[in-house]
């Protein structure tokens, strides 16, 4: 009987020791394996629209403004003293959520001149980061960090005249720079006025309007 009890005690000790070794081996293997965390890229894209609207007290050939900007135009007419408005440019771009946007272009003059040959305007637009978010009311927002717009506006510096043989003197233009930079947050899909830039001796202004919303495709 004593021998049987001793044998059972030895077997129990061996089982406990084997279990301890197994647990230690499993722990060591788990520690040796690198932590594997699944990270998924956010594939959400946003469509951004930048509208350049010119406010002027002169006549405009085309005063049509997209219906999507009706609320913005109502705000502008109530707060700014311009008689007419015209849409000078619309820029549409697709950007990945938390991505950046930067572009530059040469286009038609933003401010009308009396010269027969209209000089071009050099413009650039960038956003350091575009990011979806939520406001305190739980509404979806789009944050534009590092929004920046700049333009080189041609300003005519000489008065129209003619040479002795009645040939017209070609106009002379100097390029004057204007720019705006800011950080903004807006509700998704709702156009907002970013700012206004006075340009030229005529007192015209460039009005920057931007909106962004996630794509459906």
Sign of CA dihedral 100, 179, 190, 68: negative
How many residues appear in the chain? 217
Establish if 79 belongs to a structural domain.
Answer: yes
Establish if 159 belongs to a structural domain.
Answer: yes
Q: Domains in the chain: how many in total?
A: 1
Q: What is the pTM of this model?
A: 0.73
Give the residue from 142, 118, 123 showing the smallest Cα distance to 132. 142
Q: pLDDT tens digits for 110-142? A: 776 555 566 888 899 999 999 999 999 999 999
Establish if 113 belongs to a structural domain.
Answer: yes
DSSP reduced 3-state for 93: strand
Are 153 and 179 in contact by the 8 Å Cβ rule? The answer is no
Establish if 125 belongs to a structural domain.
Answer: yes
Establish if 128 belongs to a structural domain.
Answer: yes
Establish if 180 belongs to a structural domain.
Answer: yes
| 3-state class percentages of the chain: helix first, strand second, coil last, to nearest 5 | 20, 45, 35
Establish if 30 belongs to a structural domain.
Answer: no
Supply the range of the domain harboring residue 99.
45-214
pLDDT over 70 for what percent of the chain? 72
Establish if 17 belongs to a structural domain.
Answer: no
């Amino acid at each position: 009987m004593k021998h049987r009890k001793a044998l059972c005690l030895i077997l129990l000790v061996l089982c406990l020791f084997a279990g301890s070794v197994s647990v230690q081996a499993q722990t060591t293997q788990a520690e040796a394996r690198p932590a594997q965390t699944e990270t998924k890229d956010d594939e959400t894209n946003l469509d951004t629209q930048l509208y350049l609207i010119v406010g002027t007290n002169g006549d405009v050939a085309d005063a049509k403004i997209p219906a999507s900007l009706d609320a913005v135009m109502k705000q502008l007419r109530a707060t700014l003293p311009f008689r007419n408005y015209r849409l000078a440019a619309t820029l549409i771009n697709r950007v990945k959520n938390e991505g950046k946007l930067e572009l530059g272009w040469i286009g038609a003059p933003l401010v009308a001149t009396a010269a027969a040959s209209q000089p071009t305007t050099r413009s650039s637009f960038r956003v350091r980061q575009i990011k979806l978010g939520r406001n305190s009311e739980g509404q979806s927002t789009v944050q534009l960090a590092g929004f920046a717009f700049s333009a080189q506006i041609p300003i005519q510096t000489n008065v129209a005249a003619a040479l002795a043989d009645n040939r017209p003197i070609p106009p002379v233009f100097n390029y004057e720079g204007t720019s705006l930079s800011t950080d903004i947050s807006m509700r998704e899909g709702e156009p907002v006025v970013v700012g206004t830039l006075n340009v030229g001796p005529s007192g015209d202004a460039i009005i920057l309007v931007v909106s962004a919303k996630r794509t459906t495709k």
